[in-house]
Structure 1
Amino acid sequence: MNLNEATSTDLKVINELQKLGWKTGDTLLYQPQYRLTEEQQKEFTGFKSIKPDIVLQDLQGNILAVFENKLEDEKKALNKLRTLYWRVLKPRFLYACSSERILFYDTAWRGLEAGKFRRVDGFMSLEEMQIKIEQEKQKNIHKEIQIDKNIVGGFDPAAAKERYFQTECIKTLIEKYKQGKQKMLVHMATGLGKTRIAVALVKALLEHNLAKRVLFVVDRILLAKQARDEGFSLISKDYPVAWIRSSNYKQYRNYNVHIVVIDTLENIFQDIPNSFYDLLIVDECHRSININRKLIFDHFLCPRIGLTATPKKAILDKNAKDITEEDLEILDTYKLFGCEQGEPDYQFDLARGIDEGFLAPYRVLEIKTHLTREAEEEGIEFDYVFDIDNREKIELDQTKKLKLEQLERKYLSEERTMR
């Protein structure tokens, strides 16, 4: 392999690939030349051969990834990868690199935004690529995925019928997962077993080699404990489960299920390789919508599924200025999880749960403490309010004493509380 003409970007990329075990002249080829067939020459006029910057292949010579290391004209480089190189060489993975950044594309991606290259922090090893390719093959082999009926779909005495919606939800998610959809949303009322659905879904994917490692994200320590002890404990004998509390994820890399609190993940996600997980499941995902959380989710190159009883829909104020679609996505559960038309991938809401007998009808019982009465009648002095979503104090001009009703009218609005 002659590196005399290699650019600084070429050498940097090659060095990083070698650290991952790629062997130059064997599984790592620098500027290999491929002759086009007559049909390909007709399709790509003016090309008799192509010479990609770098090609990665397996031990049998099957091409896995192609690199373009000239990003001065990004549009031209990405188009070259997606048309010429992909159509001729049929790699699964595409990389576009410069000295400052790496853009990545997986040709198996489907759904909204599936056609976009995504920024990543590094490259995959041969083993990691082979695992992804094998998982894709398994999606086509298994026509019918078996779901553990001991976890979901059992008989509900109150409704006098099986909880059919649980298996129905899992089948829907598996089908979309097999199709390559990257974002999915489940809208299901509290009390209908979303965690058990997640556990049974994960077991089905692991059992059929459709996933190797899954990250389950919660927003509170209590929910992490419940997920581990009352949820994933149902499968932990066959598929090890670990609660990730810091950057200790590495010691659990051979565990199939990782549970993490979103605040912990916010601190460590940049240290975790982009392709480390095969699936991301976000519990109570309506609580995890702000710009930091979107950055976390976008970091991982795998499908993500949001679970919620109360999805939030962001509605653009007619007087709002300089608000982009990307801004709305950060605040909108549907958009963040790929439901552009405001329709979840699976829905079984409170009204349907009550109507079918799986949930009991309810009535609101108002209970007032002496503090509530004091707030209503005499008012409470305060000098700031706290924005929970942004974790910021909103300072007021001066100390105020407002009654509870006035507080709600002044600081709460239909837009702020809309789901």
Structure 2
Amino acid sequence: LYADGLEREYGRRPVIFYTNGYDIYIWDDAQNEPPRRIYGFYSKDSLQYLHFQREQKHTAGDIRINYQIVDRLYQIEAIKRIVERFDRKHRKGLLVQATGTGKTRVAIALCDALLKARWVKRILFLCDRRELRKQAKNAFQDYIEASLVIVSARTFKEREHRIYMATYPAMKEVYQSFDV
């Protein structure tokens, strides 16, 4: 009701936050998103980006896969299936691949497609050890032009980057400083 009044007055549907006193939920009904539980209110920048996404987000059919990054049919199919899942309003997807099948390249191509389609604001790439993080960083830098930073005690306040790479222990120390 209140959101309807704001929409009539300002010509833009607001993002709805509601709480029961214990849990906080967000509901972007203008995008046909189901309500979901969140762990804190969005910052002003994140709310502005959410409104930007409403106007600038590409449809699933418009998402382009970079065939310079992935060229195998099963890799391309995997990315298409994940994008289709997200398009059906799911917020999670699981992709399982065997050793040597190009998991990192699929992840890079998926990140590239989602960034260019404006479906995501930031990407967190988690690794279980530093060696894998270093390999992934080099691979990302070979294919994606988006700004990238390794999360650490020195860099966790930097918010202008699009891709964040971290090990689990590093992220565990700083995750509460990120809003969404």
Same fold (TM over 0.5): yes
Q: 1:273-292 counterparts in 2 under 5 A? A: 273=179, 275=180
Return the letter of the residue paired with 1:235.
Y
Q: Is the 8 A contact 1:109 1:182 kept in 2?
A: no
Tell me what 2:37 maps to.
118
Q: Work out which of the residue numbers 74, 81, 94 in structure 2 matches 1:185.
A: 94
Greater RCO structure (CA 8 Å; 6+ sep): 2
Tell me what 1:95 maps to.
18
Tell me what 2:143 maps to.
235
List alignment gaps of at least 5 residues for structure 2: none
Tell me what 2:82 maps to.
173
Return the letter of the residue paired with 2:93.
M
Q: Is the 8 A contact 2:127 2:168 kept in 1?
A: yes
Q: Work out which of the residue numbers 114, 118, 127 in structure 2 matches 1:218.
A: 127
Q: Is the 8 A contact 2:24 2:37 kept in 1?
A: yes
Deviation by residue 1:8-31 (Cα, 9 ceiling, x = unmatched): xxxxxxxxxxxxxxxxxxxxxxxx
Q: Which has the larger radius of gyration?
A: 1
Q: Tell me the distance in 1 between the aligned counterparts of 2:163 and 2:12.
A: 31
Shift, 1:61, TM fit? 4.4
Q: Is the 8 A contact 2:58 2:117 kept in 1?
A: no
Q: Normalization by structure 1: what TM-score?
A: 0.38
RMSD: 2.7
Q: Tell me the distance in 1 between the aligned counterparts of 2:65 and 2:127.
A: 24
Query: Cα distance 1:214–1:147, how it changes in 2: closer, same or farther (>3 A)?
Result: same
Q: 1:249-328 counterparts in 2 under 5 A? A: 249-251=156-158, 253-273=159-179, 275=180
Shift, 1:271, TM fit? 2.2
Q: Tell me the distance in 1 between the aligned counterparts of 2:2 and 2:110.
A: 43
Q: Tell me the distance in 2 between the aligned counterparts of 1:261 and 1:194.
A: 17
Tell me what 2:25 maps to.
104
Return the letter of the residue paired with 2:83.
I
Q: Tell me the distance in 2 between the aligned counterparts of 1:121 and 1:186.
A: 28
Q: Is the 8 A contact 1:103 1:119 kept in 2?
A: yes
Shift, 1:247, TM fit? 6.1
Query: Cα distance 1:62–1:139, how it changes in 2: closer, same or farther (>3 A)?
Result: closer
Q: 1:2-401 counterparts in 2 under 5 A? A: 60-64=10-14, 92-96=15-19, 98=21, 101-107=22-28, 117-125=36-44, 127-139=45-57, 141=59, 143-153=61-71, 163-229=72-138, 231-236=139-144, 238-246=145-153, 248-251=155-158, 253-273=159-179, 275=180
Return the letter of the residue paired with 1:242.
V
Q: Tell me the distance in 2 between the aligned counterparts of 1:93 and 1:168.
A: 35
The alignment partner of 2:62 has SS state of coil
Deviation by residue 1:48-84 (Cα, 9 ceiling, x = unmatched): xx568xx877x944241xxxxxxxxxxxxxxxxxxxx
Query: Cα distance 1:105–1:150, how it changes in 2: closer, same or farther (>3 A)?
Result: same
Query: Cα distance 1:128–1:186, how it changes in 2: closer, same or farther (>3 A)?
Result: same
Which has a greater percent of strand?
1
Deviation by residue 1:233-283 (Cα, 9 ceiling, x = unmatched): 1234x21111112262222x111110010111112212221x2xxxxxxxx
Deviation by residue 1:157-176 (Cα, 9 ceiling, x = unmatched): xxxxxx21111111111121
Return the letter of the residue paired with 1:255.
H
Query: Cα distance 1:51–1:259, how it changes in 2: closer, same or farther (>3 A)?
Result: closer
Q: Is the 8 A contact 1:95 1:103 kept in 2?
A: yes
Percent of residue pairs identical: 27
Q: Tell me the distance in 2 between the aligned counterparts of 1:188 and 1:255.
A: 28
Q: Normalization by structure 2: what TM-score?
A: 0.82
State how many pairs are aligned: 176
Q: Tell me the distance in 1 between the aligned counterparts of 2:85 and 2:98.
A: 21
Moved over 6 A (4+): none
Q: Tell me the distance in 2 between the aligned counterparts of 1:173 and 1:145.
A: 12
Return the letter of the residue paired with 1:95.
Y
